[in-house]
Amino acid sequence: MEAREFARYPFLGGASSWVKQEGVELEDLLTHSAFQQARMRGKKRVLDSIEAAKVGDSPMATEEDRLLEVLSYPLARILVSCVGDGFLVRRYALAEAKTAYDRMQTERLDLLMEIAQELGVQATLVDDAPSMHFSDFLRFTSAMRDKRWKLVNTEVRRGMVSLPKVSFARVLEQALYEKIEDELPLPVAKWMVEALRPDVMELKRLAEEMKDRYQAEELGEVDVDSFPPCMKRLVAMAQAGENISHPGRFALTSFLFNIGLSREEILKVFSGSPDFDASKTKYQIDHITGEISGTTYTPPECSTMRTNAVCFNADDLCMVDWVKHPLIYYRYKVRKKRRQATGARPRPEGQQVQKEESK
């Protein structure tokens, strides 16, 4: 590969080898004035991910431009790792993956095959079309919601799935997202945090503001702190632009509607998804909330949530016998907070909840 490819896809192993050949040391990269522009560009990668969930383009015309772009990538990863916030990790991984996808759609096929190999996507060219084993196809598309990613809607020959170039690029986008999310945060030394402290503090503040804005604007007047862990995780996934499985989307939509969010507010929650389609998402929300179906659904019970692999980080309250449903968890915690705020005498735990559920 050439410097152009390394600048466009700085996550490739060849890009780090190129940097080593240029004699760039990590300490100089983080502290020396000669690399100030690289540090600024690395910070911008992270800022772009927070604000737009995509990394903005930079000049790549000269060798110097390309080296600067490659250097900005490890700097961005170090900054994200210094912040150490799960929301920022997911948001940054999404931004890098979406940017790579936009570029990969117009690349030559042989380059895409090299990228696939580095990302752990096993594929071969069959009649000038990328083909992959159906098991690998399922691995990287299981979180994609559109019907075209269902195995029954693809052509499978001798266990191989053939994909158009754009669809194959989308698979690589998902693989890159998972790779970056798995790798971050990196272990960072104290001197690295100190060297980048002003930028780290700014990025941490902006990430917190982004999370607060989601809660304040997209979740209305509901008490987010009282959400069960499963719903907190699903909201966080939606905020970070992660793909959520169908059972997860059903559970989150029905939960949010039952605690008082409007259909429009729920639509906003999902708007950051990589495959967001406003009309399709609105139709799904309208169906789950009874606008179309005539039936207002509630979230599945906790046992079903576990079966559907959308039960996350269960806490002590989740383990209580009578907490068998996400809405029971939420309503109990909200009532408990209100009693504490008013100084009212507390009821025995679970008594009122069990009474209501038996009606």
Which tens digits make up the pLDDT trace of 150-182?
888 888 888 899 999 999 999 999 999 999 999
- Cβ partners under 8 Å of residue 143, min gap 6: 174, 242, 243, 244, 245
Please state, in angstroms and rounded to a whole number, the distance separating the CA atoms of residues 36 and 248. 43
Antiparallel, parallel or unpaired: β 156-157 and 160-162: antiparallel
Domain shared by 235 and 304, yes or no = yes
Averaged pLDDT, 275-294: 87
Q: Are 4 and 70 in contact (CB under 8 A)?
A: no
Asked if 252 contacts 234 with a C-beta cutoff of 8 angstroms, the reply is yes
Task: State the pLDDT at residue 38.
Answer: 96
> Tell me, what's the pLDDT at 218?
52
148 plus 243 within the same structural domain? no
Tell me the average pLDDT across 73-88. Answer: 94
Would you state the pLDDT for residue 248?
94
Residue 236 inside a domain? The answer is yes
Instruction: Identify which of 174, 104, 106 has the alpha carbon closest to the alpha carbon of residue 136.
Output: 174
pLDDT, tens only, 294-332? 889 999 999 999 999 999 989 999 999 999 999 999 999
326 and 346 co-located in one domain: yes
Whether 160 and 69 map to the same domain: the answer is no
Residue 96: inside a domain, yes or no?
yes
For residue 356, pLDDT beyond 60: no
Question: How confident is the model over 101-113, as a mean pLDDT?
Answer: 95
% of the chain with per-residue pLDDT over 90: 62
In a domain, 210, yes or no: no
Q: How sure is the predictor about 278, in pLDDT bands with cuts at 50, 70 and 90?
A: confident
Q: Are residues 77 and 91 in the same domain?
A: yes
Q: How far is CA 161 from CA 110, 129, 145, 166, 312, in A?
A: 18, 10, 18, 14, 32
Does residue 212 form part of some domain?
A: no
Taking residues 41-69, report their average pLDDT: 93
Residue 155 and residue 76 share a domain: no
**Cα atoms found within 13 Å of the Cα of residue 206, Cβ hemisphere only:** 20
**Based on the structure, what is the number of domains in the chain?**
3
In our burial notation (b when 16+ CB lie closer than 10 A, e otherwise), range 222-235 reads beeebbbbbbebbb
User: Does the residue 208 lie in any domain?
Assistant: no
Structure-token pair, residue 270: 């999902």
CA quadruple 57, 63, 69, 70: dihedral sign: positive
Q: CA-CA distance, 331 to 229, in Å (whole number)?
A: 14
pLDDT value of position 219: 58
Residues 6+ apart with CB under 8 A from 111: 1, 5
Q: Residue 223: what pLDDT?
A: 86
Pairwise pLDDT comparison (285 vs 2), residue with the higher score = 285
CA atoms within 13 A on the CB side of 233: 16
Q: Do 312 and 350 sit in the same domain of this protein?
A: yes
Across residues 228-238, what is the average pLDDT?
90
Picking from 5-14, 114-123, 189-198, 347-356, which range would have the lowest pLDDT averaged per residue?
347-356
Domain boundary among 116, 145, 178: 178
**Do 236 and 187 fall within a single domain?**
no
Please tell me whether residues 353 and 248 are part of one structural domain.
yes
Q: What is the pTM of this model?
A: 0.69
Residue 351: pLDDT above 80?
Answer: no
Whether 214 is covered by a domain: the verdict is no
Residue 193 shares a structural domain with residue 172: no
**Which domain covers residue 8, as residue numbers?**
3-102+183-203
Residues 230 and 349 in one domain: yes
One domain for residues 84 and 163: no
